[in-house]
Amino acid sequence: MNFPSYLLEPTQQERLAVQQAVETYIQSFLTQLPTLPAFVDSPEKGAGLLESPIEDTPISIEQALGLLQTQVDEPGITSASGGHLGYIPGGGLYYSALGDYLAAVTNKYAGIFFSAPGAVRMENMLLRWMASLIGFPQDAAGNLTSGGSIASLIALATARDAKKITSRIIPDAVVYTTAHAHHCLDKALRIAGLGECPVRHISMDDRYRMVPEALEQAILEDKAAGLIPWLLIASAGTTDVGAIDPLTHLGKIAQKHQLWYHVDAAYGGFFTLAPSGKPRLQGIGEADSVVMDPHKGLFIPYGLGAVLIKNRKQTAETHHYLANYMQDALSATEEASPADLSPELSKHFRGLRLWLPLKLHGVGAFRNALEEKLNLAQYAYEQLTNLPGFEVPVVPELSVVIFRYVPKAGIEANEFNQKLIKAVQQDGRVFLSSTLLDGNFMLRLAILSFRTHQDTIDLALRILQEKATEIEQESRS
């Protein structure tokens, strides 16, 4: 068979027909979403996809959408659902999807200012807006990344070079954080060649926040032992419990001992938009680098993190490059090019998926939605505290509520809560995840979807009571 290359350019009529089919699918998905299960534990797990191999013969859009629905969209977590209360839920704003559509069709090359000055201006404008949210200067460097993990890698690679942590001193160059710091930071350290740095897990208070006095003591001990303290990693919203380390106090210690101060605000950072969140994040502006994820706190679909670095020069030194074939681009310098501030050269034009929803909804809509999440967490905390059998060890600082059921007798608590999370997941109407806290198996309600409202929380609480009662009865009989 002969496939001329112009087959890759559908006619307008063909485009509209395919787009109509996609739009019909999407509208039906969104209409059904409130009643779809938040989790489907299918035995097949999407394996039906493999029955349609990648081959020369095309399939129709109807066939493609059929595969997508049954093999991709249905199994696993329905991440777009308001009932997704596990891990840190993502969002999935519709206007963001339209932004992606526009970005993909026009396919602007957003890595270089010369190539797409408007696209780069848009990304940098969004980063300056984020800088202003956290009290960073307008000339701070920033980059829109695929997520918090890559953003953290950029921050820590910059920190490494700024503090001149070369291979000879790595085994003596000490990093300070807590046991609740996100694992992507360990990963970033290792990828950045810093895996041999000693890491001190500083003790936490009863709300799982770093104890500044313990930090300072550890720094002094390390200095006395001839080691080189160089990096402090604080959390503004831990994944486990949503704790915020004492950012201002830690900033002072970092400055006094000349440590690079990194704040991981991937989950918590955008709560600074919410009136009652802002004071909780006070001190974040003291950091040298901050990571915050629009695909968490701004409800953007997965694939959008951000890093901000106070001193622009430092991150450019780590990431700039020169290549002969890029010489035409060198003359255009009004705005920094993303390619000079990150490991990426070619990249998705990520700005549009954030700019469009911010412009079409206005920032106020985000402010209100984030305030709602904080209120819902307080509500869930109060309700759970009053439910017989449930134990809630900490008041939520942001929108993660951590709790467990303490069974009366006949069954050990960890075993009971493992059964409870499993029962809730099997039920599927909402999705919750679990963690370990001081050896105790704990359940979490992580409230961050823009589609989660009070009725979702009430449903989750009903399901928890229902399943706990069932397990109590089983274990007694």
Token output for 371 = 């305030």
DSSP string, 59-93: --HHHHHHHIIIIIISSEE-TTSTTB-SSS-----
Cβ 452 to ligand PLP shortest distance, Å: 17
Of 243 and 380, the one with the shorter C-beta distance to ligand PLP is 243
Residue 337 sits in the site that holds ligand PLP (CB under 6 A): no
Cβ 237 to ligand PLP shortest distance, Å: 6
Q: Which of 123, 222, 293, 344 binds ligand PLP (CB under 6 A)?
A: 293
Q: Which of 148, 251, 297, 301 binds ligand PLP (CB under 6 A)?
A: 148
CB 306, CB 151: distance < 8 Å: yes
Long-range contacts of 2-8 (CB under 8 A, 24+ apart): 3/56
Among 147-155, 358-366, 388-396, 404-412, the segment contacting ligand PLP (CB under 6 A): 147-155
Q: Which of 149, 337, 342, 433 binds ligand PLP (CB under 6 A)?
A: 149
Output the 3-class SS for 161-209: HHCCCCCCCHHHEEEEECCCCCHHHHHHHHHCCCCCCCEEECCECCCCC
Residue 177 sits in the site that holds ligand PLP (CB under 6 A): no
Nearest CA to 254 out of 273, 270, 236, 232 is that of 232
Residue 208 sits in the site that holds ligand PLP (CB under 6 A): no
Residue 285 sits in the site that holds ligand PLP (CB under 6 A): no
Cβ 446 to ligand PLP shortest distance, Å: 9
Residue 43's contacts (CB-CB under 8 Å, 6 or more residues apart) are none
Nearest CA to 250 out of 272, 269, 231, 222 is that of 231
Beta bridge partners of 39: 77
Q: By rule CB under 6 A, what count of residues binds ligand PLP?
A: 13
Residue 266 sits in the site that holds ligand PLP (CB under 6 A): yes
Nearest CA to 433 out of 441, 421, 419, 423 is that of 421
Site for ligand PLP in 81-100 (CB under 6 A): 88
Cβ 22 to ligand PLP shortest distance, Å: 27
Residue 286 sits in the site that holds ligand PLP (CB under 6 A): no
Residue 22's contacts (CB-CB under 8 Å, 6 or more residues apart) are 61, 65
Q: Helix, strand or coil for residue 334?
A: coil
CB 401, CB 437: distance < 8 Å: no
Of 122 and 307, the one with the shorter C-beta distance to ligand PLP is 307
Residue 176 sits in the site that holds ligand PLP (CB under 6 A): no
Cβ 87 to ligand PLP shortest distance, Å: 8
Of 189 and 468, the one with the shorter C-beta distance to ligand PLP is 189
Residue closest to ligand PLP (Cβ) = 148
Under DSSP, the state recorded for 49 is G
CB 250, CB 212: distance < 8 Å: yes
Cβ 293 to ligand PLP shortest distance, Å: 5
Q: Residue type at 120?
A: V
Among 42-50, 136-144, 263-271, 364-372, the segment contacting ligand PLP (CB under 6 A): 263-271
Cβ 264 to ligand PLP shortest distance, Å: 5
Among 46-54, 107-115, 146-154, 272-280, the segment contacting ligand PLP (CB under 6 A): 146-154
Over the window 230 to 259, marking each residue x when it contacts ligand PLP by CB under 6 A and - when it does not, the resulting string is: -------x-x--------------------
CB 431, CB 85: distance < 8 Å: yes
CA 472 and chain centroid, separation:
36
Cβ 472 to ligand PLP shortest distance, Å: 33
Residue 215 sits in the site that holds ligand PLP (CB under 6 A): no
Of 123 and 293, the one with the shorter C-beta distance to ligand PLP is 293
Question: Per residue in 237-260, is it b (16+ CB within 10 Å) or e — as a string?
Answer: bbbbbbbbbbbebbbebbeebebb
CB 447, CB 373: distance < 8 Å: yes
Cβ 476 to ligand PLP shortest distance, Å: 38
Q: Which residues bind ligand PLP (CB under 6 A)?
A: 88, 147-149, 182, 184, 237, 239, 264, 266-267, 293, 305
